């Protein structure tokens, strides 16, 4: 059963028309729902008084921001959002941008800085020419929009390194210290990071060293960054930048120190099993293995705590369950017993590797400071590992990672540049950057204009987050209110099946529909279409089914797709930071999204239950926002509760999609 996210049955012909080639938006999107809003709720009642939406702003305020003066009388009569959106469809785009931003709650000063100032028309615009305004692409900035239109017509590889001209200032700016760029899906954070690394590399004096670090959380995303960076700057500058995922970097540091010899690294699941075995041996019943494994990894190792006293003083952000001093004493004793157990077995975890690397780099930084520019007794001159550090997907790094990075570069101008979005956090790493020596106060920018995914996909994805709250990596809260997209495309497709086998047919059928509805410039086999599912076993099923259906399918492994071309298939975790023209999310069923194991925490540990659900919700959100042009979400059996919440009022029956 297939239907659009906005309800209604979709015939084959209608589906083909829905999934037209993406284009710059001619009709202005609705403001995105703020995270924390209730999606799908009905109005609470009739308004007693309908007041003009813009009565708080003078005519001069509006004109100074770029509103067309001839529209002021009409604007003064707008009393609800429907009327505002109706005007936004036909008004010049700068007028629409300004009015929508003000309606979203931004101040005059914020709108001036983020909406009006970046917009400079190359030629005079006739404010009375509304026909031209409707035809004018995406924004008032003709050159910007021409660039956007042009790149949409080029190869997808070209698109993957395209920087929106209004973001150039973030790339080229000189920062007095650590700087952060945050933003919602499709706002180009990764592209900003890539161009920032290229900008810093271009300023380097001649040499063959790698004084710039470009890092991210996982291996396949690091591989994607390297491929994109090569397309962006060419081989010479690529050779001046160390592009590596954060755990591999930590392993390198530990290896150089000789600490990794005769030790085998185990993953988090194996660590939990070791905790469970130890707790059974000692008869400990106060805490379960999952809680202690997380406490040890996130608090003790994450904060590089070296003693029982340090642990007593430590903050425990995001941990939920409070611990008394006596509790902490008992936990510390268990931690010491556990680490000895791992030492005796000759194994350690990735968290231990990161913690050891952080201490090693901190010692190195201390030696640099102590040497004060003078050679040591051995004749060597201690120096920091890098001149500049650029971090992508910053929300997923743990505190030990940040301590390691802070120690790798001298504090000062252009030292650390990071991009991230806590709404896309899919690992339990909660940090306050200021407490880790990464002070970003006064050097933060927030991107609110999405130009890498359509407004239809953006709206759908944001509804998945309704009801959750998120931090800003620095002790405050963050939200996605006011986000909007420059692109317009087809409505996302929702499809339901009785069984997983039936859902596989939906997946292959949707790929065929997209192929038949295309303009011939792309195909399912060119690597720009992907399928993501919750589990590794489901990946294998999808690959097998697609190949049997005559569709080339390539699994995304730890280092990216195993070969070029084909439809890429992977678990949702593999899609962090990646971009595709079209994405199918399969297996979005209850018991899979969120994971069935999460339900066991609902009564015994409500805080953890909330955190685990939020993590799985963010994972679905990440998957949904990987698509630029088209998105389809399928499930079998009961849909994920995240979908049910997002489309409570938009349940629809559809027609069968047949191959």
Cα–Cα distance, 484 to 486 (Å, whole number) = 7
E runs forming strands in 399-513: 416-420, 444-447, 449-454, 470-471, 477-478, 484-488, 493-497
User: Is 240 strand, coil or helix?
Assistant: coil
**How do beta strands 23-24 and 484-488 pair?**
antiparallel
**Which residues does residue 530 pair with via DSSP β-bridges, in sequence order?**
568, 583
DSSP 487: E
8 Å CB contact between 503 and 531: no
> Residues with Cβ < 8 Å from 622, sequence gap 6 or more?
424, 426, 572, 575, 576
Rounded (10°) CA dihedral 27, 189, 111, 489: 0
Binding-site residue ranges: 183-190
DSSP 57: S
User: Is 40 strand, coil or helix?
Assistant: coil
Instruction: Compute and round to an integer the Cα radius of gyration of the chain.
Output: 26
Output the CA–CA distances (angstroms, integers) from residue 379 to 261, 367, 375, 618, in the order listed: 28, 14, 5, 51
Binding-site residue ranges for ATP: 183-190
Output the CA–CA distances (angstroms, integers) from residue 154 to 33, 490, 635, in the order listed: 32, 20, 33
CA of residue 157 relative to chain centroid, distance: 20
Cα–Cα distance, 149 to 191 (Å, whole number) = 17
| DSSP state string for 179-230 | EEEEE-TTS-HHHHHHHHHHHHHHTSPS-SS--EEEEESSHHHHHHHHHHHH
> Residues with Cβ < 8 Å from 118, sequence gap 6 or more?
141, 166
Cα–Cα distance, 494 to 7 (Å, whole number) = 9
**How do beta strands 470-471 and 477-478 pair?**
antiparallel
Q: Ramachandran region of residue 205, left (φ > 0), alpha (ψ -120 to 50) or beta?
A: beta
């Amino acid at each position: 059963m297939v239907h659009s996210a906005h309800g209604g049955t979709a015939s084959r012909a209608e589906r083909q028309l829905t999934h037209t080639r993406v284009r710059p938006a001619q009709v202005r999107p609705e403001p995105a729902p703020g995270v924390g809003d209730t999606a799908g709720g009905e109005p609470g009642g009739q308004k007693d008084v309908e007041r003009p939406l813009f009565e708080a702003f003078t005519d001069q305020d509006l004109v100074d921001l770029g509103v067309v003066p001839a529209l002021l009388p009409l604007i003064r009569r707008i009393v609800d959002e429907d009327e505002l959106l109706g005007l936004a469809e036909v008004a010049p785009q700068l007028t629409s941008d300004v009015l929508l931003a003000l309606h979203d709650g931004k101040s005059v000063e914020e709108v001036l800085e983020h909406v009006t100032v970046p917009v400079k028309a190359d030629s005079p615009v006739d404010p009375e020419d509304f026909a031209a305004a409707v035809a004018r692409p995406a924004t008032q900035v003709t050159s910007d929009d021409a660039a956007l239109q042009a790149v949409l017509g080029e190869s997808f590889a070209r698109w993957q390194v395209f920087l929106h001209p209004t973001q150039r200032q973030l790339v080229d700016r000189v920062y007095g210290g650590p700087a952060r760029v945050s933003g919602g899906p499709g706002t180009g954070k990764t592209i900003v990071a890539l161009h920032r690394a290229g900008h810093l590399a271009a300023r380097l004096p001649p040499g063959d060293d790698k004084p710039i670090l470009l890092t991210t959380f996982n291996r396949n995303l690091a591989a994607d960054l390297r491929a994109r960076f090569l397309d962006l700057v060419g081989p010479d500058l690529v050779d001046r930048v160390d592009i590596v995922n954060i755990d591999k970097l930590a392993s390198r540091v530990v290896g150089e120190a000789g600490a990794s010899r005769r030790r085998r690294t185990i993953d988090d699941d194996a660590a939990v099993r070791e905790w469970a075995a130890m707790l059974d041996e000692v008869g400990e019943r106060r805490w379960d293995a999952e809680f202690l494994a997380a406490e040890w990894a996130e608090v003790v190792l994450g904060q590089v705590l070296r003693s029982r006293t340090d642990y007593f003083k430590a903050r425990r952000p995001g941990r939920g369950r409070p611990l008394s001093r006596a509790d902490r004493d008992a936990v510390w004793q268990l931690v010491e017993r556990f680490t000895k157990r791992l030492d005796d077995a000759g194994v350690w975890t990735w968290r231990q590797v990161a913690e050891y690397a952080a201490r090693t780099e901190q010692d190195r930084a201390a030696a640099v400071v102590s040497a004060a520019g003078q050679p040591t007794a051995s004749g060597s001159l201690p120096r920091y590992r890098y001149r500049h550090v650029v971090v992508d997907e910053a929300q997923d790094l743990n505190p030990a990672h940040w301590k390691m990075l802070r120690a790798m570069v001298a504090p000062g101008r252009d030292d650390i540049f990071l991009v991230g979005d806590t709404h896309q956090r899919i690992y339990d790493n909660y940090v306050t950057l200021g407490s880790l020596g990464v002070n970003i106060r006064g050097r933060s920018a927030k991107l609110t204009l999405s130009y890498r995914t359509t407004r239809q996909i953006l709206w759908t994805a944001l509804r998945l987050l309704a009801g959750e709250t998120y931090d800003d990596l620095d002790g405050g809260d963050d939200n996605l209110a006011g986000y909007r997209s420059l692109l317009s495309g087809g409505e996302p497709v929702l499809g339901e099946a009785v069984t997983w086998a039936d859902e596989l047919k939906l997946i292959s059928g949707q790929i065929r529909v997209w192929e038949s509805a295309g303009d011939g410039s792309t195909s399912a086999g060119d690597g720009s279409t992907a399928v993501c599912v919750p589990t590794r076993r489901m990946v294998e099923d999808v690959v097998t089914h697609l190949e049997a259906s005559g569709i080339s399918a390539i699994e995304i492994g730890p280092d990216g797709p195993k070969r070029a071309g084909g439809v890429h298939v992977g678990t949702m975790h593999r899609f962090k930071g990646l971009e595709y023209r079209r994405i199918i999310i399969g297996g979005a069923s209850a018991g899979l999204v969120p994971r069935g194991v999460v339900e066991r925490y609902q009564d015994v540990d409500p805080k953890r239950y909330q955190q685990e659900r939020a993590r799985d919700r963010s994972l679905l959100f990440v998957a949904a926002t990987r698509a630029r042009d088209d998105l389809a979400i399928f499930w079998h059996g009961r849909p994920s509760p995240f979908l049910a919440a997002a489309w409570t009022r938009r349940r629809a029956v559809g027609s069968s999609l047949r191959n």
